[in-house]
Amino acid sequence: MSPPTAVELRNLRFRYPDGAEALRGISFSVSEGECVALIGPNGAGKSTLLMHLNGILPDRLPAVPAVTVFGRPVTEDNLAAVRRDVGLLFQDADDQLFCPTVYEDVAFGPQQFGDDASVPGRVAEALGKVGLSGFEQRAPHHLSGGEKRRVCLAGVLACTPRVLVLDEPTSDLDPRGKRELKELLRNIPTTKIIATHDLELVVELCTRAILIDGGSVVADGPPRTLLGDEVLMLAHGLERPHILQHHHPH
């Protein structure tokens, strides 16, 4: 039996009130267990797309939405359930951290569910998964960039989402921070959708890549096939990643 469909987009269109069309009819579906990279130049529409996956956009959800999560259309009535299923890690850690302690920041999400008894256990487990056990009483704003990113990820994981949606998870991290985050993500079996410019992450972690440009899907396939196609990459403001550039004879 094939795995269930986690996320489905059917002709998703979106225009910001003051701007051009950011998404011009995007369709694809993601099965449970896939790790899908969204790649494309700045302004392609990746962040806008991600914000549709848990109903942050559009401001007013249509009666017949273009996005479905585990069979549930993203409508006003389904919004709470959809947001439990889809955990979104924003690009900027500082937007997501606003409490005096790491514990409170990670506990914030699960506290919204009204199941208070489970919160301490969820926080402990999530901090363990991101390698930050013992950081509970630290001030998030005094942590390194990599640690902040991991606190944010713990906050998302503490809600045990069925789909993990990550916007540029390795941006602004130093090489070690990148490596650590990639290892963490590799060990999280949840369905993942990752918008990123980190093409090494795409090759190392993802089972599929979707190239978006100008609000449309340009290509959809195995990471090595897409990223190895230099003409395609250059035509859309990207480059062939270094790890695909050399033939290793040994």
Query: What is the binding site for ligand ADP (CB under 6 A)?
Result: 16, 18-19, 22, 40, 42-48
In whole angstroms, how far apart are CA 107 and each of 86, 100, 154, 162, 163?
A: 17, 12, 9, 18, 19
CA–CA dist 199, 192 (Å, integer) = 16
**Apex 35 CA angle, 189 and 102, nearest 5:** 55
* Two tokens, residue 94: 């500082």
Of residues 22 and 132, the one with the C-beta less far from ligand ADP = 22
**Apex 217 CA angle, 211 and 220, nearest 5:** 55
- Order of strands across the sheet that contains 216-221: 86-89, 163-167, 191-195, 35-39, 208-213, 216-221
